[in-house]
Amino acid sequence: MSDRDTPEQGTGTREAQVANLFDLRRIIGGLFLLYGVVLVIVGLGDSGAEISKAAGVHINLIAGLGMLALGALFVAWALLRPLGRQLQEEERKRRAAGGA
Amino acid sequence: MSHVPLAGDAAAGVLAASDVRLDVNAVDYGILIVYFVVVLGVGLVARRYVKTSLDYFLSGRSLPAWITGLAFVSANLGATEILGMGANGAQYGVATVNYYWIGAVPAMVFLGLVMMPFYYGSKVRSVPEYLRLRFGDSSHLFNSITFALATVLIAGVNLFALALVLKLLLGWPILLGIVVAAGVVLAYITLGGLSSAIYNEVLQFFVIMAALVPLTIVGLHDAGGWGGLQDKIRQTRLGEAGLHALQGTDPGHVTNPIGATWIGIVFGLGFILSFGYWTTNFAEVQRALSARDLSAGQRTPLIGAYPKLLIPAVVVIPGMIALWKIPHLGGGDANLAYNNAIPLLMNEYLPNGMLGIALTGLMASFMAGVAANVSAFNTVVTTDIIEPYLARDRPDAFYIRAGRFVTIGGILVAIGTALIASGYQNLMNYLQALFSIFNAPLFATFIIGMFWKRMTPAAGLWGLVAGTIAALVTYVGYKWAGWFTFGSDLDESFWGAGAAFVVDAIVTVSVTLVTRPKPVEELQGLVWGMVNKEDAAVAAGHDRWWESPKLLGFGAIALGIVLTIIFF
């Protein structure tokens, strides 16, 4: 493996790698937003029997709201740390270190 | 340790299984299906970015520390963690935290602060490859083969445990459960390699937490908070002793539920077993090696240490709640085995909707364990056995293709080893025995080789061989031949690990003294005091204060000490 010492080469552009990372934040965010919506809807329709099963805690509703918050947090993170800035930081670090 | 019912027991228990089976409906299944669609989707997306074998096996060394850190913990959040530690919470109470604060965090910090510079700085792609640079081919090949063997055996344990849960909760036959789980793991690893395995581990981490946190909240609410739960535990079989981590562990008058002295806990568990596992198990170390630079590599286990400090809150506490809430838990009925504490509690408390999340979280935890082992297996077989010894200097595409075939082979073998695991009454004991045989000698060789420049290549090989044989002899002599007796299977793994460590060290030192060492200039970046300077400069160059590995590491240790004192 000739490119072992310089991983930057041959792994696609830095943009592609960071886009990969961006995807993960979006995936986690998206999954939890979806789960949150489902749980909130289920939670709003929960009968008394279901609530008393969970020791009187509206667990579907509370967990659903929590998941909405977590999902929103991840999506916000992905949007607030724009890819361009992250790329620039990478480059600056690399140059400051004098490496690669 | 807790008892997993035998496959035969589970079959016999089917008649009574209807009262254990989860009450799932279409919403729950929908939640589970969405999760698997996303997991496979990540594999497909990751595939578009996988261009070289480095991408495939180490994610192109491009991942940021928060991702690798969460993957590091998640790789360990498998069957043994969720079910095993929940079971221990029910069986031993608070004392279970010793497996976290003493038995994991110090070793994770040691890996980050002391060992990562050697691993990462030498640019190895695997743990065995470090042995190759430090000691040469023979110890490398020996370790690569034993590691590959250990990893498929462990993957099999995870597959079997998953199948067991599917059988108990959903009524799926054991073999069907094994094959379906293997198929999903196979699909996403062969598609995307390590990137998709790691990305899914991060996803899994959040799904597992989403399952456990609400369960803990509901259970604690029901028990009347932590104070209420303490009162309830005092009235159970565990009594007051179930509320303390280290009280009653003085040699001579042990009253702690684990039945071990603090010496056994600190040295046996906290030093040999824990350091052996966390610092040399490639399924863990691989996550840190795929970080984007040395600093991120060092921070991987350190970032992982913080969730590890807090996970007992959502695993051990539900176990304790189950002890109070589920009548006859841990009694004769296989369905009420301690191992089922967390699934039983989920069924007890969670309405449809949350139940689907809980089921998804359980499935995710098993997949994380299998995927971590399979991705480590395909890396070691491809880069440490096929590339250097069987097919040198092929085009890169050859190794990616080989990696995919090895993954398929590994999964098929793991289905076989799952059937071996099904023969063990207690999966945790089986796992600990595997660790004592495969990790304890490796840790001895590593620690001596990293700190003693004089240690010779020949000593690297013979120390490992002797240590592995010592642990094997202890195991076989106890389990089959009847040469030794120990207090329990778990006690055997303590002594086996100890024997492996001591025999390895003695042989290593003896052989070193009569053989020729490597020239010092070939050890740059491989031994203490000769860390790769370029990497050290990168690490020092861009640390913001909260990214300092020392601060993170000592912070985790301090927090562990404070928590241990609080729950003393």
Cβ distance B59 to B385 under 8 Å? no
Residues of B in contact with A81 (CB under 8 A): none
Quote the CA–CA distance of B523 and B173 in Å, as a whole number: 53
Whether B5 has a pLDDT exceeding 50, the answer reads no
Nearest by CB to residue A3, choosing from B35, B52, B210, is B52
pLDDT value at position A87?
54
Sign of CA dihedral B338, B181, B54, B380: positive
pLDDT value at position B61?
64
Residues of A in contact with B358 (CB under 8 A): none
Q: pLDDT tens digit string along B512-532?
A: 999 988 888 888 778 877 766
Cβ distance B468 to B149 under 8 Å? no
**Range from B175-189, B292-306, B381-395, B471-485 carrying the lowest mean pLDDT:** B175-189
**Range from A75-89, B315-329, B372-386 carrying the lowest mean pLDDT:** A75-89
Helical H runs in B224-261? 225-234
ipTM > 0.85 for the complex: no
On average, the pLDDT of chain B sits at 81
Partner B contacted by A61 (CB < 8 A): no
pLDDT value at position A19?
58
Helical H runs in chain A? 14-44, 48-53, 59-80, 83-97
Residue B154's identity, in one-letter code, is I
Cβ distance B24 to B356 under 8 Å? yes
Residues of B in contact with A64 (CB under 8 A): 353
Distance from the A8 Cα atom to the nearest Cα atom in chain B, whole angstroms: 8
pLDDT value at position B146?
92
Q: How confident is the model at residue B471 (pLDDT cuts 50, 70, 90)?
A: very high
Q: How confident is the model at residue A12 (pLDDT cuts 50, 70, 90)?
A: very low
Inter-chain CB proximity A42 and B352 less than 8 Å: yes
DSSP structure class, residue B51: -
In residues, how long is chain B? 568
Q: pLDDT tens digit string along B231-256?
A: 888 888 877 877 887 776 776 676 77
Quote the CA–CA distance of B448 and B248 in Å, as a whole number: 34
Q: How confident is the model at residue B467 (pLDDT cuts 50, 70, 90)?
A: very high
Residues of B in contact with A3 (CB under 8 A): 52, 54, 396
DSSP structure class, residue B350: P
Helix (H, G, I), strand (E, B) or coil at B188: helix
Assigned token pair, B186? 């196979």
Whether B296 has a pLDDT exceeding 50, the answer reads yes
Assigned token pair, B442? 């490796």
Tell me the CATH architecture of domain B19-428+542-567. Up-down Bundle (1.20)
State the angle between helix axes of B85-92 and B341-349 in degrees (0 to 180), rounded to the nearest 10: 90
Half-sphere exposure of B171 (CA within 13 A, CB side): 11
Average pLDDT over residues B386-400: 85
**Range from B130-134, B161-165, B499-503 carrying the lowest mean pLDDT:** B161-165
Give helix then strand counts, H and E, for chain A.
4, 0
DSSP structure class, residue B498: H
- Give which of A6, A17, A62 to mutate to test B binding, by max B Cβ within 10 Å: A17
Q: When comparing pLDDT for B69 and B547, which is higher?
A: B69
Quote the CA–CA distance of B392 and B21 in Å, as a whole number: 52
Inter-chain CB proximity A7 and B60 less than 8 Å: yes
Reported pTM = 0.82
Quote the CA–CA distance of B415 and B160 in Å, as a whole number: 8
Whether A89 has a pLDDT exceeding 70, the answer reads no
Cβ distance B366 to B79 under 8 Å? yes
pLDDT value at position A92?
65
Average pLDDT over residues B172-192: 81
pLDDT value at position A14?
56
**Range from B232-241, B494-503, B540-549 carrying the lowest mean pLDDT:** B540-549
Residue of chain B nearest A14, judged by CA positions: B62
Partner B contacted by A50 (CB < 8 A): yes
Q: When comparing pLDDT for B475 and B330, which is higher?
A: B475
Cα B57 to its chain centre, rounded Å, is: 19
Percent of chain A, pLDDT > 90? Answer: 28
Inter-chain CB proximity A51 and B62 less than 8 Å: no
Residues of A in contact with B53 (CB under 8 A): 1
pLDDT value at position B51?
61
Q: Which residues contact A94 (CB under 8 A, 6 or more apart)?
A: A100
- Largest separation between any pair of C-alpha atoms in chain B: 69
Inter-chain CB proximity A99 and B534 less than 8 Å: yes
Average pLDDT over residues B163-172: 79
Partner B contacted by A69 (CB < 8 A): no
Average pLDDT over residues B306-328: 89
Average pLDDT over residues B3-16: 31
Distance from the B59 Cα atom to the nearest Cα atom in chain A, whole angstroms: 9
Quote the CA–CA distance of B393 and B385 in Å, as a whole number: 13
Of B269, B268, B241, nearest to B256 (Cα)? B241
Distance from the A28 Cα atom to the nearest Cα atom in chain B, whole angstroms: 6
Residues of B in contact with A20 (CB under 8 A): 45-46, 49, 62, 195
Of B151, B126, B98, B61, nearest to B369 (Cα)? B151
Q: pLDDT tens digit string along A23-82?
A: 678 888 999 999 999 999 999 988 888 888 888 888 999 999 999 999 999 888 888 765
Whether B459 has a pLDDT exceeding 70, the answer reads yes
Q: Is residue A83 classed exposed, middle or buried when 0-12, 13-18 and 19+ CB atoms within 10 A define those classes?
A: middle
